[in-house]
């Protein structure tokens, strides 16, 4: 008979529970030294191991031959509890049995000694669902139960429990399991099941589980259906997820006000098996990650991302101002609430929300006003910059312009026959100190300035052209935009490096130029 993976690989001893060492170490010590409490309260989000630890604890307190606080799993008590046949271990779901009559039955039964085991264990799952009268009926029994009775209460919403119940229990908080721990567990299960699981795919599944091991194993089982190889592409197709590149493209399209691109992305999602609401939640998460990247020098300390994903996130965050980021986040959150209220209109709600993000003039909120002010301030800076560019009227400047004109009008024969294009490029001079220029550019355009931090800037002999050598193709594309080139030329002119009409080009640094090659000297 087939058994679900999360049940097949459910831990049977405390040492097998992943990511909850602060809980299992205490429980194992108490079982090993016979210091069993009369009531335990396990609280935490779903799939973090509350019920699993409750069942292990029930076996450990009744085990005939415990091993360092862990149940042996071989004695008659362990086998009967594991099979669910033990009459002295009762598991109750308070979500469906929340009336006072069930608690009264338990209160009447605790006075009887166990039928076959050493202790009678009551496991009450989702205990916060009990009615107030049921809690009141449980109070006295929970405070002073007989020595042979152990209560284990589990809940995902601890704040709903009365303080009188919490004070009578030994409380343990189950944390969300780290992504790395979940991914490692999934890789272990894949190896035992002879399934192929890519490390990147394991991380994607672990992030989607949001700290729950049970959810992660269930998602992995879905993706591995039919014995298929679990790759990143497979995970995205089965779970309806979008890649980080798609999220970045959507965010930058919203910043540019590129409504046709957004409509195309939403149409593709609607035509595929993906859910618009899932994409929307991922986009909200991407905006949150960009906010972290803006304020933290090392986002990897706070985000479960690979170095490549972190670099992509930084490049995207550098192109979005804080005002725009705040405004878009507010619109995204509001649209998600509307989608949950009217799920039949998810696509329409998403399209209208994108329209508001592309054109803040359609929104009268405070966040939209801040975004509009930010755009106006950038426009004013550019107008002031254009007025501040000096006219070439000084004698020295006129002489330089005349020399440049003479050089431009010189006949081709004036060029030495031995000079080659490569040799001509070596005459370009690198900008020795670009800190003042980058600082000035940051005042005009913070996003463009961020791409020049690791770039190499070369100035032509006549000062009329500027070549920027970049580390990535993405930086080349961003610096090749017309507006980016205009701002770079303006910043260079304000610093007195070139004239305002300098021609700006961006290229990729050569990675495989041979040593000693003339072109290599440029890099």
Residue 432: pLDDT band with limits 50, 70, 90: confident
Quick check: 522 pLDDT over 50? no
Residue 430 pLDDT: 84
Number of H helices, E strands in the chain: 24, 9
* Residue 439 falls inside a structural domain: yes
Burial label for 191, CB within 10 Å (0-12, 13-18, 19+), is exposed
**Residue bearing tokens 């497979």:** 234
* Residue 417 falls inside a structural domain: no
In angstroms, the CA 349 to CA 339 distance is 7
Q: Name the least confident of 140-149, 165-174, 263-272, 400-409.
A: 400-409
* Residue 215 falls inside a structural domain: yes
Residue 476 pLDDT: 85
- Give percent of the chain with pLDDT exceeding 70: 87
Looking at the structure, tell me whether residues 109 and 229 fall in a common domain. Answer: no
Quick check: 401 pLDDT over 50? no
Domain end among 124, 145, 174: 174
Looking at the structure, tell me whether residues 235 and 248 fall in a common domain. Answer: no
Segments forming the whole domain that contains residue 274? 244-367
CATH number where 94 lies? 3.40.50.300
Quick check: 73 pLDDT over 50? yes
Residue 403: pLDDT band with limits 50, 70, 90: very low
Q: Name the least confident of 323-327, 379-383, 456-460, 461-465.
A: 379-383
* Residue 415 falls inside a structural domain: no
Residue 204: pLDDT band with limits 50, 70, 90: confident
Looking at the structure, tell me whether residues 83 and 28 fall in a common domain. Answer: yes
Residue 150: pLDDT band with limits 50, 70, 90: very high
Q: How far is CA 187 from CA 201, 252, 320, in A?
A: 10, 35, 37
Residue 405 pLDDT: 40
Residue 319 pLDDT: 81
In angstroms, the CA 446 to CA 219 distance is 41
Of 178 and 240, the structure prediction assigns the larger pLDDT to 178
In angstroms, the CA 359 to CA 372 distance is 9
Looking at the structure, tell me whether residues 300 and 357 fall in a common domain. Answer: yes
Residue 189 pLDDT: 92
CATH number where 470 lies? 3.30.300.180
Closest CA to 124 of 46, 214, 54: 54
* 441: its two tokens: 């550019």
Q: To 10 degrees, the CA torsion angle through 5, 8, 9, 15? A: 160
Quick check: 107 pLDDT over 80? yes
Total domains, the chain: 4
SS3 track for 5-36:
HHHHCCCCCHHHCCCCHHHHHHHHHHHHHCCC
Residue 399 pLDDT: 44
For 504, the enclosing helix (H) or strand (E) is strand 503-508
In angstroms, the CA 316 to CA 310 distance is 10
* Proportion of the chain in helix, strand, coil states, percent, rounded to 5: 60, 10, 30
Instruction: Give me the mean pLDDT over the 132-148 stretch.
Output: 86
Looking at the structure, tell me whether residues 156 and 207 fall in a common domain. Answer: no
Looking at the structure, tell me whether residues 231 and 288 fall in a common domain. Answer: no
Looking at the structure, tell me whether residues 105 and 148 fall in a common domain. Answer: yes
Quick check: 174 pLDDT over 90? yes
Looking at the structure, tell me whether residues 150 and 54 fall in a common domain. Answer: yes
DSSP states along 111-122: TSPPSSSSSEEE
Residue 523: pLDDT band with limits 50, 70, 90: very low
Residue 425 pLDDT: 47
* 460: its two tokens: 């032509």
Instruction: Give me the mean pLDDT over the 251-275 stretch.
Output: 86
Quick check: 459 pLDDT over 90? no
Looking at the structure, tell me whether residues 220 and 320 fall in a common domain. Answer: no
Looking at the structure, tell me whether residues 209 and 79 fall in a common domain. Answer: no
Quick check: 109 pLDDT over 80? yes
Q: Under a CB-based contact definition with an 8 Å cutoff, are residues 325 and 200 in contact? A: no
CATH number where 226 lies? 1.10.8.60
Greatest C-alpha distance within the chain: 113
Closest CA to 70 of 82, 61, 80: 61
Quick check: 384 pLDDT over 80? no
In angstroms, the CA 505 to CA 492 distance is 14
pLDDT tens by residue, 32-44:
988 899 999 999 9
Q: How far is CA 394 from CA 133, 330, 397, 399, in A?
A: 92, 52, 5, 9
Domain end among 134, 154, 174: 174
* 502: its two tokens: 């300098």
* Residue 418 falls inside a structural domain: no
In angstroms, the CA 449 to CA 487 distance is 10
Quick check: 518 pLDDT over 80? no
CATH number where 308 lies? 1.20.272.10
Quick check: 323 pLDDT over 90? no
* Residue 411 falls inside a structural domain: no
Among 55-59, 276-280, 367-371, the range with the most confident prediction by mean pLDDT is 55-59
pLDDT tens by residue, 8-19:
889 989 988 998
In angstroms, the CA 7 to CA 465 distance is 67
- Give percent of the chain with pLDDT exceeding 90: 22
In angstroms, the CA 227 to CA 224 distance is 5
Closest CA to 453 of 473, 466, 443, 439: 439
Looking at the structure, tell me whether residues 27 and 157 fall in a common domain. Answer: yes
Residue 175 pLDDT: 92
Residue 378 pLDDT: 66
pLDDT tens by residue, 179-197:
889 999 999 999 998 899 9
Buried (b) or exposed (e) across 197-221, using 16+ Cβ within 10 A? Answer: bbeebbbbbbbbbebbbbbbbbbbb
Residue 382 pLDDT: 60
Domain end among 159, 174, 189: 174
Residue 94 pLDDT: 86
Mean pLDDT (the chain, rounded): 81
Looking at the structure, tell me whether residues 249 and 104 fall in a common domain. Answer: no
* Residue 363 falls inside a structural domain: yes
Residue 411 pLDDT: 40
Q: For residue 507, give the 3-state DSSP assignment.
A: strand
* Residue 388 falls inside a structural domain: no
């Amino acid at each position: 008979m087939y058994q679900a993976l999360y049940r097949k690989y459910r831990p049977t001893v405390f040492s097998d529970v992943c990511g909850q060492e602060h809980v299992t170490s205490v429980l194992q010590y108490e079982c090993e030294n016979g210091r069993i409490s009369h009531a335990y309260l396990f609280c935490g989000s779903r799939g973090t191991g509350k019920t699993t630890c409750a069942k292990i604890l029930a076996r450990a307190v009744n085990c005939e031959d415990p091993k360092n606080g862990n149940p042996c799993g071989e004695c008659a008590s362990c086998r009967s509890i594991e099979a669910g046949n033990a009459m002295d271990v009762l598991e109750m779901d308070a979500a469906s049995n929340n009336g006072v009559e069930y608690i009264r039955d338990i209160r009447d039964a605790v006075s009887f000694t166990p039928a076959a085991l050493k202790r009678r264990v009551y496991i009450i799952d989702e205990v916060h669902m009990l009615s107030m009268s049921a809690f009141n009926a449980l109070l006295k029994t929970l405070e002073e139960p007989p020595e042979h009775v152990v209560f284990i209460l589990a809940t995902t919403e601890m704040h709903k429990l009365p303080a009188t119940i919490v004070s009578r229990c030994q409380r343990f908080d189950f944390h969300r399991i780290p992504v790395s721990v979940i991914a490692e567990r999934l890789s272990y299960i894949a190896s035992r099941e002879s399934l192929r699981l890519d490390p990147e795919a394991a991380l994607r599944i672990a992030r989607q589980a949001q700290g729950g091991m049970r959810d992660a194993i269930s998602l992995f089982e879905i993706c591995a259906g039919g014995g298929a190889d679990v790759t990143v592409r497979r995970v995205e197709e089965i779970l309806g997820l979008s890649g980080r590149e798609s999220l970045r493209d959507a965010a930058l399209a919203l910043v540019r006000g590129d409504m046709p691109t957004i409509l195309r992305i939403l149409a593709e999602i609607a035509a595929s098996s993906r859910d618009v609401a899932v994409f929307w939640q991922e986009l909200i998460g991407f905006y949150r990650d960009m906010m972290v990247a803006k304020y933290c020098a090392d986002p990897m300390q706070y985000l479960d991302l690979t170095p490549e994903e972190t670099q992509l996130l930084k490049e995207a965050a550098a192109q979005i101002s804080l005002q725009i980021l705040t405004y878009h986040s507010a619109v995204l959150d509001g649209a998600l609430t509307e989608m949950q209220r009217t799920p039949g209109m998810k696509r329409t709600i998403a399209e209208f929300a994108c329209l508001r993000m592309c054109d803040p003039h359609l929104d009268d909120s405070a966040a939209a006003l801040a975004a509009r002010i930010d755009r106006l301030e950038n426009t004013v800076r550019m107008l002031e910059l254009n007025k501040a560019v000096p006219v070439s009227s000084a004698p020295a400047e006129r002489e330089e312009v005349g020399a440049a004109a003479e050089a431009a009008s010189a006949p081709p024969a004036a060029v030495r026959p031995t000079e080659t294009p490569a040799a001509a490029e070596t005459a370009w001079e690198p900008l020795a100190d670009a800190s003042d220029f980058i600082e000035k550019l940051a005042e005009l355009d913070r996003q463009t300035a961020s791409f020049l931090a690791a770039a190499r800037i070369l100035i032509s002999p006549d000062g009329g052209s500027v070549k920027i050598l970049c580390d990535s193709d993405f930086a080349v594309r961003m610096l090749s935009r017309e507006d980016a080139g205009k701002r770079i030329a303006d910043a260079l002119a304000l610093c007195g490096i070139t004239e305002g009409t300098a021609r700006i080009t961006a290229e990729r640094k050569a990675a495989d130029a041979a040593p000693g090659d003339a072109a290599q000297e440029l890099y």
